[in-house]
Structure 1
Amino acid sequence: MEMTGEQLIPVSQNEVWRGLFDPEVLKACITGCESVEKVSDTEYKVALTAVVGPVKARFVGKLILSELNAPHSCSLAFEGSGGAAGFGKGGAQVKLTPEGASTRLAYLAKASVGGKLAQIGSRLIDGVARKMADDFFVKFNKVMAAPAAAPVTGGAAVVQTGAAGTQEAGSLPIWIVAGTIIVMVIIAWLVR
């Protein structure tokens, strides 16, 4: 299964990159997201609950980041399991391109599923995955358009401070977004 998409985000490329690496922003924007846990600089655990048709399942997954080129692009590999519902794995590429005062976010995700999820109709899964991605970007656009994302983070920046006192954004957000979209696609596929 393959899923591509583009979104125009009404803020600068650096702001989009930072927003995509803010766990609180991501948790607020990803429907059903329960947690995002950093295992290492390039590996994260994500838990979310998804509903596809009559099936509701909790999925736990792992994202592994690579090819980081801040604030321009990144790649990720993922795998996730929904217990009896099935499992999925795949990868994604994400690219940020400045367009005036805005940023175009483009992604390409490829996934495969197994178990009960592999028996679900691809049309239902594709529709659910597309809706989940669309819902994410509607929420993300609203959060990013708000001054300093104050409603989500309470005005506190979620960044690490280096020895010189400069802020360094992590690599979590963009990967989580792409990984979550992929996991949603897999879940939708598995639930069909």
Structure 2
Amino acid sequence: MNVNGEVVVKAPKEDVWRALNNPAALQKATPGCKSLIEIEPDCYKAEISVGIAAVRGDYESTIKILDKSEPDRYRLVMSANSPVGFVEGDATVELVHEEMKTYIKYNGVAQVGGKVAGVGQRMLSGIAKLIVKEFFKKIARETTTQFH
């Protein structure tokens, strides 16, 4: 399924970039994230608890930041596993600064498997878009509170 969208932040692009690369900000922004530990540069292990429909459960996750082009874009790759199934995502995150605002544009794909996949694509697509949008909205909040 495709996941894409845009969130506007009233902050300089460099501040948004710092938030997108700050482990504390990433942990706060990731819905249900109990812990986030950097295991190597730009690679994190996370424990995430999601409580939405059949996606509900505790997931052991790996989050990697790849193909960095500071402060314009990077690729975010995530995999999460639980007893109810798995979720894998791969997205490009791009920052565009215009008129005193930074636009976080994201475009990616997500795959699910296991019992989670039995929920149905329409419902899963809605849940995935909700979670991703919430992540970027929280990054926007972190940027405006942490760097100002």
TM-score by length of structure 2 reads: 0.88
Task: Return the letter of the residue paired with 2:47.
Answer: A
Spell out, residue by residue over 1:72-131, the C-alpha distance to the aligned partner (whole angstroms, 9 max, x if none).
Answer: 01113332201x201122311111111122111111121212111111122222222222
Percent identity of paired positions between Structure 1 and Structure 2: 26
Corresponding residue for residue 25 of structure 2: 25
Q: Give the helix-richer structure, 1 or 2.
A: 1
Q: For 2:141 and 2:76, how far apart are their aligned partners in 1? A: 25
Corresponding residue for residue 183 of structure 1: none
Q: For 2:21 and 2:114, how far apart are their aligned partners in 1? A: 32
Corresponding residue for residue 142 of structure 1: 141
Q: Is the 8 A contact 1:64 1:77 kept in 2?
A: yes
SS at match of 2:122: helix
**Which runs of 5 or more residues in structure 1 are unaligned?**
150-192
Q: For 2:112 and 2:120, how far apart are their aligned partners in 1? A: 12
1:78 to 1:33, Cα distance in 2 relative to 1, 3 A: same
Matched, 1:95 2:94: yes
Count of aligned pairs between the two proteins: 148
Spell out, residue by residue over 1:166-188, the C-alpha distance to the aligned partner (whole angstroms, 9 max, x if none).
Answer: xxxxxxxxxxxxxxxxxxxxxxx
Corresponding residue for residue 51 of structure 1: 51
Q: How does 1:1-192 map to 2 (within 5 A)?
A: 1-53=1-53, 56-82=56-82, 84-146=83-145, 148=147
Q: For 2:145 and 2:42, how far apart are their aligned partners in 1? A: 29
Question: What's the Cα RMSD here?
Answer: 1.9
Q: Is the 8 A contact 2:39 2:45 kept in 1?
A: yes
1:78 to 1:131, Cα distance in 2 relative to 1, 3 A: closer
TM-score by length of structure 1 reads: 0.69
1:45: Cα distance to partner?
1.1
1:65 to 1:25, Cα distance in 2 relative to 1, 3 A: closer
Q: For 1:41 and 1:77, how far apart are their aligned partners in 2? A: 14
Q: For 1:30 and 1:5, how far apart are their aligned partners in 2? A: 17
Q: Give the strand-richer structure, 1 or 2.
A: 2
Q: For 2:77 and 2:48, how far apart are their aligned partners in 1? A: 17
Q: For 1:55 and 1:115, how far apart are their aligned partners in 2? A: 10
Q: Is the 8 A contact 1:7 1:137 kept in 2?
A: yes
Q: For 1:78 and 1:27, how far apart are their aligned partners in 2? A: 14
Q: For 1:64 and 1:147, how far apart are their aligned partners in 2? A: 23
Q: For 1:58 and 1:67, how far apart are their aligned partners in 2? A: 29
